[in-house]
Structure 1
Amino acid sequence: MEATTSSVTDFSDAPIPLGLERFLGLVIRALSTTLEDTVGEREASGFINLVGIAIAEEIHADYLRAAGAERLGRQAVSNALIDLKRRLGGDFYVIEDSGDRIVLGNRRCPFGDLAKTCPSLCTITSHVFGHMVAESQGYGRVTLADTIARGSPTCRIVIDLDPDAPGEGGQSYFGTGAA
């Protein structure tokens, strides 16, 4: 079969669904799946953990600058987590916010369908949330109880602020400064 050659030279109005967001999503998916295929999902998650920590430090610094403070107060932490995910396209909301626990829900994954093919990306959420909470409150244990990436219709993120609280598993984060 002979290949046809197009005479089209201007694609500016072509219905190609490509913009910066989709392009970056393709890059992230390719990197994540390449890592998972090469070293396995567990090891890929370790690499993504390092990326998540670096991202968390940058984002936390942004919120501290915006607050004009050295650490975020208890209510500011919850507000910052919700605001962060809203800015990224998520639809996070507070389910519970007590003295020793924050439980957030989410109706729309900021990573969109990408999360379904790269569930290890959820560890970025864990690291960003855990780092921000721990740096401002001294400690945070983040449990990704339900995630859209793992097939749930919504996410439920449990953040325990007390290291002795009974937990549902999760990842512990410790602040580097005094809380």
Structure 2
Amino acid sequence: MLGLFVRNLSNTLEDTVGVREASVLMNLVGLAVSDDIQKEYLEAAGKNKLSRADVTQAIIDLKQRIGSDFYIIEDMEDRIIFGNRRCPYGDLAKECPTLCMMTSHMVGHLIAESQGYGRVTLAETIARGDRACRIVVNLDPDGPDDGGLSYYASGTA
């Protein structure tokens, strides 16, 4: 039932305001959701700021709670690569690829609030027909630009 709601909402947004504008609206929703999620993880950890390890585990936990199969492919100083073998939206994602932007925005905002900056690239997505998702998070704002979206901590840019 939730999937039907999400699909219809996404399609209505795309049809009404266009794909680009729907993505902007999804960004706003992603920001609001990630703020609430961050508050919950901060409260649970009893901290004012999540460490890199904390935020990485929070992202995996969050995505698994909604039905994804998120895991770390690579964790290096300047980037983190997440994998996902199961889309929580199932086949709906193929009909509404803007749903993937929710992942980008939530991951990007959570990483940025923890690390100051994060550029999220949806290198591979199930929605685009790939067998799995590959989400690359670059932590160096001066690193090579692979076409992802940049996210900054609140109050910076």
CA distance in 2 between partners of 1:24 and 1:50 (Å): 20
CA distance in 2 between partners of 1:66 and 1:83 (Å): 13
CA distance in 2 between partners of 1:55 and 1:64 (Å): 14
Match 1:108 to one of 78, 82, 86 = 86
Partner of 1:122: 100
CA drift of 1:66 comes to 1.2
Which structure's CA Rg is the greater one?
1
Partner of 1:44: 22
Partner of 1:145: 123
Q: Does the alignment pair 1:68 with 2:14?
A: no
CA distance in 2 between partners of 1:47 and 1:73 (Å): 29
CA distance in 1 between partners of 2:71 and 2:155 (Å): 28
Matched residues, number: 156
CA drift of 1:112 comes to 1.4
Name structure 1 gaps, 5 residues minimum: 1-22
Partner of 2:63: 85
CA drift of 1:177 comes to 6.2
- SS of residue paired to 2:101: helix
Structure 1 segment 158-177 matched on structure 2, within 5 A? 158-176=136-154
TM value normalised by structure 2 = 0.95
CA drift of 1:167 comes to 2.6
- SS of residue paired to 1:119: coil
CA distance in 2 between partners of 1:35 and 1:86 (Å): 26
Aligned partners of 1:116 and 1:148 also within 8 Å: yes
Compare relative contact order (CA 8 Å, sep 6+) and give the higher one, 1 or 2. 2
- When the two chains are superposed, the root-mean-square deviation of aligned CA atoms in Å is 1.2
Percent identical pairs in the alignment equals 63
CA drift of 1:42 comes to 1.3
Q: Does the alignment pair 1:133 with 2:107?
A: no
Aligned partners of 1:142 and 1:171 also within 8 Å: yes
Structure 1 residue ranges (4+ consecutive) displaced by more than 6 angstroms after TM superposition: none
